[in-house]
C-alpha cells in the first residue's frame, strides 16, 4: 500500500508541520520507501528471535565493594604547591557571600 500525498498531508498536520504541495509530492514516495524498509524487518525476525534494543547483550559489570588502605595523606600532600590543615590549598573562586 503506497502512501498518498493526502496521507503525508494528514501526518504533517498531526505533527503540526506545514508542508507545501511540492514538499508533499516529494515526501510521499520517500516515506513510502522508508515504511517498506521498516516493514521488511518483520519478515526477517521469526518467532525464535526475541526483540532486542542492541545487537549484543549488554551487561553491567560490578565489582565487590571492598575497603582497602588508601595512599597516606602525607605522600599525597607532598607534591602539592600549597597545603593548609592537611588539605590541598586552592585559590578562592567564590565570594564569601555566595
CATH number of 5-43: 1.10.20
CA trace torsion 2, 6, 8, 13 (10° rounding): -160
Query: How many CB atoms are located within 10 Å of the residue 8 CB?
Result: 22
pLDDT at res. 18:
95
Comparing 94 with 19, which gets the higher pLDDT?
Answer: 19
Comparing 9 with 2, which gets the higher pLDDT?
Answer: 9
Rounded average pLDDT over 2-21? 93
Whose CA is closest to 88, among 79, 77, 75, 78? 77
pLDDT of residue 8 exceeding 70, the answer is yes
pLDDT tens string 34-85? 998 888 877 776 777 777 778 888 888 888 889 999 999 899 999 899 999 9
pLDDT at res. 78:
92
**pTM: predicted TM-score of the whole model, two decimal places:** 0.44
What letter does residue 88 receive in the DSSP assignment? E
Amino acid at each position: 500500500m503506497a502512501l498518498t500525498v493526502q496521507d503525508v498531508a494528514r501526518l504533517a498536520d498531526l505533527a503540526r508541520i506545514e508542508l507545501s504541495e511540492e514538499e508533499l509530492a516529494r515526501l510521499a514516495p520517500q516515506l513510502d520507501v522508508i515504511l517498506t524498509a521498516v516493514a521488511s524487518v518483520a519478515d526477517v525476525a521469526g518467532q525464535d528471535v526475541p526483540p532486542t534494543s542492541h545487537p549484543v547483550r549488554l551487561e553491567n559489570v560490578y565489582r565487590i565493594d571492598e575497603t582497602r588502605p588508601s595512599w597516606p595523606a602525607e605522600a599525597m600532600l607532598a607534591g602539592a604547591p600549597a597545603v593548609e590543615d592537611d588539605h590541598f590549598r586552592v585559590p578562592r573562586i567564590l565570594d564569601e557571600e555566595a
